[in-house]
Structure 1
Amino acid sequence: MIVIIVACLAGGILIGKLAIFSLSNITNLIITLGLFVLLFSVGIDLGCNKEALRNIREDGIKLFIVPVATVLGTGFGSSLASILLKMPLNETLAVGAGFGWYSLSGVLITQMHSVELGTVAFLSNVIREVIALISIPLISRYIGSFEAVGVAGATAMDTALPVIVKSNSPDIAIYSFISGFLLTLLVPVLVPLALGL
Protein backbone atom coordinates (compact mmCIF):
# COMPACT_ATOMS: atom_id res chain seq x y z
CA MET A 1 0.00 0.00 0.00
CA ILE A 2 2.80 2.43 0.91
CA VAL A 3 4.57 1.73 -2.40
CA ILE A 4 1.36 2.45 -4.33
CA ILE A 5 0.81 5.74 -2.47
CA VAL A 6 4.38 6.93 -3.05
CA ALA A 7 4.29 5.79 -6.71
CA CYS A 8 1.01 7.64 -7.32
CA LEU A 9 2.36 10.80 -5.68
CA ALA A 10 5.62 10.61 -7.67
CA GLY A 11 3.70 9.91 -10.89
CA GLY A 12 1.45 12.90 -10.26
CA ILE A 13 4.44 15.16 -9.64
CA LEU A 14 6.07 13.95 -12.86
CA ILE A 15 2.92 14.51 -14.93
CA GLY A 16 2.46 17.94 -13.34
CA LYS A 17 6.05 18.89 -14.23
CA LEU A 18 5.75 17.63 -17.82
CA ALA A 19 2.31 19.15 -18.50
CA ILE A 20 2.33 21.90 -21.12
CA PHE A 21 -0.86 23.47 -19.75
CA SER A 22 -2.42 23.83 -16.31
CA LEU A 23 -4.17 20.70 -15.07
CA SER A 24 -5.47 22.27 -11.84
CA ASN A 25 -9.11 22.53 -13.00
CA ILE A 26 -9.12 18.90 -14.14
CA THR A 27 -7.42 17.61 -10.99
CA ASN A 28 -9.77 19.59 -8.73
CA LEU A 29 -12.76 18.04 -10.51
CA ILE A 30 -11.28 14.52 -10.30
CA ILE A 31 -10.49 14.97 -6.58
CA THR A 32 -14.00 16.27 -5.83
CA LEU A 33 -15.69 13.46 -7.76
CA GLY A 34 -13.37 10.89 -6.19
CA LEU A 35 -14.22 12.12 -2.69
CA PHE A 36 -17.96 11.91 -3.44
CA VAL A 37 -17.57 8.34 -4.73
CA LEU A 38 -15.43 7.47 -1.70
CA LEU A 39 -17.94 8.87 0.82
CA PHE A 40 -20.83 7.17 -1.00
CA SER A 41 -18.94 3.86 -0.90
CA VAL A 42 -18.16 4.26 2.81
CA GLY A 43 -21.87 4.96 3.39
CA ILE A 44 -22.82 1.76 1.57
CA ASP A 45 -20.29 -0.23 3.62
CA LEU A 46 -21.62 1.24 6.85
CA GLY A 47 -25.23 0.65 5.84
CA CYS A 48 -24.46 -2.99 5.07
CA ASN A 49 -22.54 -3.48 8.30
CA LYS A 50 -25.25 -3.50 10.99
CA GLU A 51 -22.73 -4.47 13.66
CA ALA A 52 -20.62 -1.35 13.02
CA LEU A 53 -23.67 0.91 13.43
CA ARG A 54 -24.61 -0.89 16.66
CA ASN A 55 -21.05 -0.47 17.95
CA ILE A 56 -21.23 3.27 17.26
CA ARG A 57 -24.42 3.61 19.30
CA GLU A 58 -22.84 1.62 22.12
CA ASP A 59 -19.57 3.57 22.06
CA GLY A 60 -21.26 6.97 22.38
CA ILE A 61 -18.83 9.36 24.08
CA LYS A 62 -15.86 7.13 23.17
CA LEU A 63 -16.18 8.49 19.62
CA PHE A 64 -14.65 11.74 20.88
CA ILE A 65 -11.50 10.16 22.36
CA VAL A 66 -9.52 10.13 19.10
CA PRO A 67 -10.18 13.78 18.11
CA VAL A 68 -9.52 14.98 21.68
CA ALA A 69 -6.27 12.98 21.81
CA THR A 70 -5.31 14.39 18.40
CA VAL A 71 -5.86 17.97 19.60
CA LEU A 72 -3.83 17.33 22.78
CA GLY A 73 -1.03 15.52 20.92
CA THR A 74 -0.82 18.21 18.26
CA GLY A 75 -0.74 20.89 20.96
CA PHE A 76 2.08 19.08 22.74
CA GLY A 77 4.02 18.65 19.48
CA SER A 78 3.48 22.31 18.58
CA SER A 79 4.71 23.39 22.02
CA LEU A 80 7.81 21.25 21.60
CA ALA A 81 8.37 22.78 18.13
CA SER A 82 8.20 26.24 19.72
CA ILE A 83 11.08 25.34 22.04
CA LEU A 84 13.19 23.54 19.42
CA LEU A 85 12.68 26.11 16.64
CA LYS A 86 12.76 29.12 18.98
CA MET A 87 9.46 30.37 17.57
CA PRO A 88 6.67 32.06 19.55
CA LEU A 89 4.29 29.50 21.08
CA ASN A 90 1.19 31.12 19.59
CA GLU A 91 2.66 30.75 16.08
CA THR A 92 3.54 27.07 16.40
CA LEU A 93 0.16 26.33 18.00
CA ALA A 94 -1.63 28.10 15.14
CA VAL A 95 0.35 26.14 12.54
CA GLY A 96 -0.37 22.86 14.34
CA ALA A 97 -4.07 23.73 14.70
CA GLY A 98 -4.41 23.25 10.94
CA PHE A 99 -4.50 19.47 11.67
CA GLY A 100 -3.44 18.77 8.07
CA TRP A 101 -6.00 21.10 6.46
CA TYR A 102 -3.32 23.03 4.62
CA SER A 103 -5.52 25.13 2.32
CA LEU A 104 -7.58 26.75 5.07
CA SER A 105 -4.91 27.06 7.76
CA GLY A 106 -2.44 28.62 5.32
CA VAL A 107 -4.98 31.21 4.16
CA LEU A 108 -6.23 32.00 7.68
CA ILE A 109 -2.73 32.50 9.06
CA THR A 110 -1.69 34.59 6.05
CA GLN A 111 -4.71 36.87 6.55
CA MET A 112 -4.40 37.09 10.34
CA HIS A 113 -0.62 37.11 10.78
CA SER A 114 1.83 37.09 7.85
CA VAL A 115 2.60 35.54 4.49
CA GLU A 116 5.68 33.87 5.98
CA LEU A 117 3.80 32.07 8.76
CA GLY A 118 0.96 31.24 6.33
CA THR A 119 3.52 29.58 4.06
CA VAL A 120 4.96 27.65 7.01
CA ALA A 121 1.43 26.52 7.93
CA PHE A 122 0.68 25.46 4.37
CA LEU A 123 3.91 23.48 3.99
CA SER A 124 3.84 21.85 7.43
CA ASN A 125 0.23 20.74 6.97
CA VAL A 126 0.97 19.37 3.47
CA ILE A 127 3.91 17.47 4.96
CA ARG A 128 1.67 16.19 7.77
CA GLU A 129 -0.81 14.83 5.24
CA VAL A 130 1.89 13.17 3.11
CA ILE A 131 3.54 11.60 6.17
CA ALA A 132 0.12 10.42 7.37
CA LEU A 133 -0.71 8.80 4.02
CA ILE A 134 2.63 7.01 3.97
CA SER A 135 2.67 5.97 7.64
CA ILE A 136 -0.98 4.95 8.19
CA PRO A 137 -0.47 1.36 6.95
CA LEU A 138 2.54 0.92 9.26
CA ILE A 139 0.85 2.55 12.25
CA SER A 140 -2.27 0.45 11.70
CA ARG A 141 -0.24 -2.74 11.53
CA TYR A 142 2.18 -2.18 14.39
CA ILE A 143 0.48 0.27 16.76
CA GLY A 144 -3.27 0.44 16.24
CA SER A 145 -6.16 1.64 14.10
CA PHE A 146 -7.22 4.56 16.31
CA GLU A 147 -3.66 5.87 16.36
CA ALA A 148 -3.69 5.79 12.55
CA VAL A 149 -6.86 7.90 12.56
CA GLY A 150 -5.22 10.41 14.90
CA VAL A 151 -2.15 10.81 12.70
CA ALA A 152 -4.39 11.78 9.77
CA GLY A 153 -5.87 14.74 11.64
CA ALA A 154 -8.59 16.56 9.70
CA THR A 155 -7.81 14.50 6.59
CA ALA A 156 -9.18 11.38 8.32
CA MET A 157 -12.58 12.18 6.82
CA ASP A 158 -11.47 12.64 3.22
CA THR A 159 -8.07 12.03 1.61
CA ALA A 160 -6.75 9.68 4.31
CA LEU A 161 -10.03 7.79 4.73
CA PRO A 162 -9.44 5.17 1.99
CA VAL A 163 -5.94 4.44 3.30
CA ILE A 164 -7.27 4.10 6.87
CA VAL A 165 -10.09 1.76 5.79
CA LYS A 166 -7.78 -0.30 3.54
CA SER A 167 -5.22 -0.65 6.36
CA ASN A 168 -7.83 -1.61 8.98
CA SER A 169 -11.33 -3.07 9.03
CA PRO A 170 -14.28 -1.19 7.47
CA ASP A 171 -15.58 -0.64 11.03
CA ILE A 172 -12.97 2.10 11.54
CA ALA A 173 -14.47 4.26 8.75
CA ILE A 174 -17.09 5.93 10.93
CA TYR A 175 -14.58 6.71 13.69
CA SER A 176 -12.23 8.13 11.09
CA PHE A 177 -14.96 10.23 9.49
CA ILE A 178 -16.21 11.60 12.81
CA SER A 179 -12.68 12.42 14.00
CA GLY A 180 -11.82 14.19 10.73
CA PHE A 181 -15.14 16.03 10.73
CA LEU A 182 -14.74 17.32 14.30
CA LEU A 183 -11.13 18.38 13.69
CA THR A 184 -12.19 20.16 10.50
CA LEU A 185 -14.76 22.12 12.50
CA LEU A 186 -12.09 23.07 15.04
CA VAL A 187 -9.56 24.49 12.54
CA PRO A 188 -11.31 27.86 11.95
CA VAL A 189 -11.81 28.19 15.72
CA LEU A 190 -8.41 27.09 17.06
CA VAL A 191 -6.17 28.84 14.50
CA PRO A 192 -7.42 32.37 15.36
CA LEU A 193 -7.56 31.43 19.06
CA ALA A 194 -3.91 30.34 19.00
CA LEU A 195 -2.81 33.47 17.14
CA GLY A 196 -4.58 35.59 19.75
CA LEU A 197 -2.51 34.16 22.63
Structure 2
Amino acid sequence: MVYIILISLTLGIAFGNFISPEMFKDIDKISTIALNLLIFSVGVDIGLNKEVLTKIKKKGVKILLVPLAVVIGSLFGGLIVGLIFKLQTNLALAISAGFGWYSLSAVILTNLAGAEAGTVAFLSNVFRELLAVLSIGFIASKINYITAIAPSGATAMDTTLPVISKFTDEETVVIAFLTGTILTFLVPFLVPFFYNI
Protein backbone atom coordinates (compact mmCIF):
# COMPACT_ATOMS: atom_id res chain seq x y z
CA MET A 1 0.00 0.00 0.00
CA VAL A 2 2.83 2.40 0.84
CA TYR A 3 4.34 1.85 -2.62
CA ILE A 4 1.00 2.61 -4.26
CA ILE A 5 0.71 5.84 -2.23
CA LEU A 6 4.24 6.93 -3.18
CA ILE A 7 3.72 6.07 -6.85
CA SER A 8 0.39 7.94 -6.85
CA LEU A 9 1.99 10.99 -5.24
CA THR A 10 4.90 10.96 -7.71
CA LEU A 11 2.56 10.58 -10.69
CA GLY A 12 0.39 13.39 -9.34
CA ILE A 13 3.37 15.72 -9.02
CA ALA A 14 4.54 14.85 -12.55
CA PHE A 15 1.02 15.24 -13.95
CA GLY A 16 0.55 18.55 -12.15
CA ASN A 17 3.62 19.97 -13.86
CA PHE A 18 2.22 19.38 -17.35
CA ILE A 19 -1.42 20.42 -17.11
CA SER A 20 -3.19 23.73 -16.90
CA PRO A 21 -4.40 24.74 -13.41
CA GLU A 22 -7.77 25.54 -14.98
CA MET A 23 -8.35 21.83 -15.64
CA PHE A 24 -8.24 21.07 -11.93
CA LYS A 25 -9.78 24.14 -10.35
CA ASP A 26 -12.12 21.88 -8.33
CA ILE A 27 -9.39 19.47 -7.16
CA ASP A 28 -9.94 20.44 -3.50
CA LYS A 29 -13.60 19.44 -3.73
CA ILE A 30 -12.72 16.16 -5.46
CA SER A 31 -10.05 15.26 -2.88
CA THR A 32 -12.41 16.16 -0.02
CA ILE A 33 -15.10 13.87 -1.44
CA ALA A 34 -12.57 11.05 -1.95
CA LEU A 35 -11.23 11.46 1.59
CA ASN A 36 -14.73 11.45 3.06
CA LEU A 37 -15.55 8.25 1.14
CA LEU A 38 -12.42 6.63 2.56
CA ILE A 39 -13.33 7.66 6.10
CA PHE A 40 -16.91 6.48 5.54
CA SER A 41 -15.66 3.06 4.41
CA VAL A 42 -13.42 2.81 7.49
CA GLY A 43 -16.46 3.73 9.63
CA VAL A 44 -18.57 1.02 7.97
CA ASP A 45 -15.80 -1.50 8.64
CA ILE A 46 -15.73 -0.50 12.32
CA GLY A 47 -19.53 -0.54 12.55
CA LEU A 48 -19.65 -4.09 11.24
CA ASN A 49 -17.54 -5.25 14.19
CA LYS A 50 -19.80 -4.73 17.21
CA GLU A 51 -17.15 -5.87 19.72
CA VAL A 52 -14.79 -2.97 18.94
CA LEU A 53 -16.91 -0.19 20.44
CA THR A 54 -17.56 -2.33 23.53
CA LYS A 55 -13.80 -2.82 24.02
CA ILE A 56 -13.22 0.92 23.62
CA LYS A 57 -15.88 1.75 26.24
CA LYS A 58 -14.21 -0.65 28.69
CA LYS A 59 -10.93 1.24 28.39
CA GLY A 60 -12.62 4.39 29.72
CA VAL A 61 -10.47 7.42 30.44
CA LYS A 62 -7.28 5.42 29.80
CA ILE A 63 -7.91 5.88 26.09
CA LEU A 64 -6.95 9.56 26.49
CA LEU A 65 -3.39 8.50 27.31
CA VAL A 66 -2.73 7.94 23.59
CA PRO A 67 -3.36 11.55 22.45
CA LEU A 68 -1.60 12.82 25.60
CA ALA A 69 1.48 10.73 24.74
CA VAL A 70 1.42 11.99 21.14
CA VAL A 71 1.24 15.61 22.36
CA ILE A 72 4.15 15.13 24.77
CA GLY A 73 6.24 13.23 22.20
CA SER A 74 5.59 15.81 19.48
CA LEU A 75 6.50 18.75 21.71
CA PHE A 76 9.61 17.01 23.03
CA GLY A 77 10.67 16.17 19.47
CA GLY A 78 10.08 19.78 18.47
CA LEU A 79 12.30 20.98 21.30
CA ILE A 80 15.13 18.67 20.26
CA VAL A 81 14.92 19.68 16.60
CA GLY A 82 14.68 23.32 17.66
CA LEU A 83 17.95 22.97 19.59
CA ILE A 84 19.65 21.34 16.59
CA PHE A 85 18.54 24.11 14.22
CA LYS A 86 18.91 26.88 16.82
CA LEU A 87 15.24 27.88 16.74
CA GLN A 88 13.73 29.88 19.57
CA THR A 89 12.07 27.52 22.04
CA ASN A 90 8.63 29.08 21.65
CA LEU A 91 8.79 28.79 17.84
CA ALA A 92 9.97 25.18 17.96
CA LEU A 93 7.09 24.28 20.30
CA ALA A 94 4.56 26.18 18.16
CA ILE A 95 5.69 24.39 14.99
CA SER A 96 5.56 20.96 16.64
CA ALA A 97 2.10 21.77 18.05
CA GLY A 98 0.82 21.67 14.47
CA PHE A 99 0.68 17.86 14.93
CA GLY A 100 0.73 17.32 11.15
CA TRP A 101 -2.08 19.76 10.31
CA TYR A 102 0.09 21.69 7.89
CA SER A 103 -2.51 24.03 6.40
CA LEU A 104 -3.81 25.52 9.65
CA SER A 105 -0.54 25.62 11.60
CA ALA A 106 1.20 27.31 8.66
CA VAL A 107 -1.47 30.00 8.42
CA ILE A 108 -1.45 30.64 12.17
CA LEU A 109 2.34 30.93 12.31
CA THR A 110 2.50 33.08 9.19
CA ASN A 111 0.15 35.52 10.90
CA LEU A 112 2.04 35.38 14.20
CA ALA A 113 5.68 35.15 13.14
CA GLY A 114 5.91 35.82 9.41
CA ALA A 115 6.20 33.89 6.18
CA GLU A 116 9.44 32.10 7.09
CA ALA A 117 7.98 30.55 10.26
CA GLY A 118 4.79 29.67 8.37
CA THR A 119 6.81 27.94 5.65
CA VAL A 120 8.82 25.96 8.20
CA ALA A 121 5.57 24.92 9.91
CA PHE A 122 4.05 23.93 6.58
CA LEU A 123 7.03 21.85 5.47
CA SER A 124 7.64 20.15 8.83
CA ASN A 125 4.00 19.11 9.11
CA VAL A 126 3.83 17.94 5.48
CA PHE A 127 6.94 15.84 6.07
CA ARG A 128 5.37 14.47 9.24
CA GLU A 129 2.38 13.25 7.25
CA LEU A 130 4.59 11.71 4.55
CA LEU A 131 6.77 9.99 7.15
CA ALA A 132 3.63 8.71 8.85
CA VAL A 133 2.42 7.12 5.61
CA LEU A 134 5.83 5.50 5.12
CA SER A 135 6.32 4.33 8.70
CA ILE A 136 2.89 3.19 9.95
CA GLY A 137 3.14 -0.31 8.47
CA PHE A 138 6.65 -0.84 9.80
CA ILE A 139 5.78 0.43 13.30
CA ALA A 140 2.59 -1.67 13.42
CA SER A 141 4.45 -4.86 12.50
CA LYS A 142 7.68 -4.30 14.45
CA ILE A 143 6.50 -2.45 17.58
CA ASN A 144 2.72 -2.44 18.14
CA TYR A 145 -0.53 -1.08 16.75
CA ILE A 146 -1.03 1.74 19.26
CA THR A 147 2.45 3.14 18.60
CA ALA A 148 1.62 3.22 14.88
CA ILE A 149 -0.89 6.02 15.62
CA ALA A 150 1.77 8.44 16.90
CA PRO A 151 3.44 9.52 13.63
CA SER A 152 0.09 10.61 12.17
CA GLY A 153 -0.73 13.18 14.82
CA ALA A 154 -3.85 15.14 13.86
CA THR A 155 -4.05 13.35 10.49
CA ALA A 156 -4.96 10.10 12.28
CA MET A 157 -8.59 11.18 11.92
CA ASP A 158 -8.48 11.71 8.17
CA THR A 159 -5.67 11.37 5.63
CA THR A 160 -3.62 8.68 7.38
CA LEU A 161 -6.61 6.82 8.87
CA PRO A 162 -6.93 4.49 5.85
CA VAL A 163 -3.23 3.57 6.22
CA ILE A 164 -3.70 2.87 9.94
CA SER A 165 -6.77 0.81 9.07
CA LYS A 166 -4.76 -1.23 6.56
CA PHE A 167 -1.97 -2.16 8.98
CA THR A 168 -3.76 -2.42 12.35
CA ASP A 169 -7.15 -3.57 13.66
CA GLU A 170 -10.58 -1.99 14.19
CA GLU A 171 -9.93 -1.14 17.84
CA THR A 172 -6.76 0.77 16.95
CA VAL A 173 -8.60 2.60 14.16
CA VAL A 174 -11.18 3.91 16.64
CA ILE A 175 -8.42 5.03 19.03
CA ALA A 176 -6.59 6.64 16.08
CA PHE A 177 -9.70 8.53 15.03
CA LEU A 178 -10.27 9.77 18.58
CA THR A 179 -6.59 10.76 18.89
CA GLY A 180 -6.66 12.65 15.60
CA THR A 181 -9.87 14.43 16.58
CA ILE A 182 -8.44 15.57 19.93
CA LEU A 183 -5.18 16.75 18.35
CA THR A 184 -7.06 18.57 15.59
CA PHE A 185 -9.08 20.37 18.26
CA LEU A 186 -5.89 21.35 20.14
CA VAL A 187 -3.92 22.78 17.19
CA PRO A 188 -5.64 26.22 16.96
CA PHE A 189 -5.14 26.70 20.70
CA LEU A 190 -1.66 25.26 21.26
CA VAL A 191 0.14 26.81 18.28
CA PRO A 192 -0.53 30.44 19.36
CA PHE A 193 -0.20 29.49 23.04
CA PHE A 194 3.34 28.14 22.62
CA TYR A 195 4.38 30.91 20.26
CA ASN A 196 3.29 33.56 22.79
CA ILE A 197 5.05 32.09 25.84
TM over 0.5: yes
Q: How far apart, CA to CA, are the structure 1 residues paired with 2:116 and 2:161?
A: 30
Q: How far apart, CA to CA, are the structure 1 residues paired with 2:126 and 2:74?
A: 15
In the alignment, structure 1 residue 135 sits paired with structure 2 residue 135: yes
Deviates more, 1:41-50 or 1:111-120: 41-50
Q: CA deviation at 1:134?
A: 1.1
Q: Which residue is 2:49 aligned to?
A: 49
The Cα offsets for residues 103-125 of structure 1, whole Å up to 9 and x where unpaired, read as: 00000000111111011000110
Q: CA deviation at 1:62?
A: 2.0
Corresponding letter in the other structure for 1:176: A
Contact 2:67 2:182 in 1 (8 A): yes
Three-state SS of the structure 2 residue aligned to 1:110 is helix
Deviates more, 1:161-170 or 1:100-109: 161-170
Contact 1:16 1:23 in 2 (8 A): no
Contact 2:39 2:162 in 1 (8 A): no
Q: CA deviation at 1:74?
A: 0.8
Q: Which residue is 1:19 aligned to?
A: 19
Q: CA deviation at 1:42?
A: 2.1
Q: Which residue is 2:107 aligned to?
A: 107
Show the 5 A alignment for 1:1-150. Answer: 1-22=1-22, 24-150=24-150
Q: How far apart, CA to CA, are the structure 1 residues paired with 2:175 and 2:95?
A: 25
Deviates more, 1:75-84 or 1:41-50: 41-50
Sequence identity, in percent?
A: 44
Residues 15 and 177 (structure 1), Cα distance of their counterparts in 2 relative to 1, 3 Å cut? same
Contact 1:98 1:121 in 2 (8 A): yes
Q: How far apart, CA to CA, are the structure 1 residues paired with 2:149 and 2:141?
A: 13
Q: How far apart, CA to CA, are the structure 2 residues paired with 1:161 and 1:114?
A: 32
TM-score (norm. length: structure 2)? 0.96
Q: How far apart, CA to CA, are the structure 2 residues paired with 1:22 and 1:131?
A: 31
TM-score (norm. length: structure 1)? 0.96
Q: CA deviation at 1:38?
A: 1.8
Q: CA deviation at 1:144?
A: 1.3
In the alignment, structure 1 residue 181 sits paired with structure 2 residue 181: yes
Q: How far apart, CA to CA, are the structure 1 residues paired with 2:53 and 2:78?
A: 35
* Runs of 4+ with deviation above 4 angstroms: none
What is the aligned-residue RMSD (CA, Å)? 1.2
Q: How far apart, CA to CA, are the structure 1 residues paired with 2:127 and 2:22?
A: 23
Q: Which runs of 5+ in 1 are unaligned?
A: none
Residues 24 and 189 (structure 1), Cα distance of their counterparts in 2 relative to 1, 3 Å cut? farther
- Residues paired across the two proteins, number: 197
Q: CA deviation at 1:183?
A: 0.2
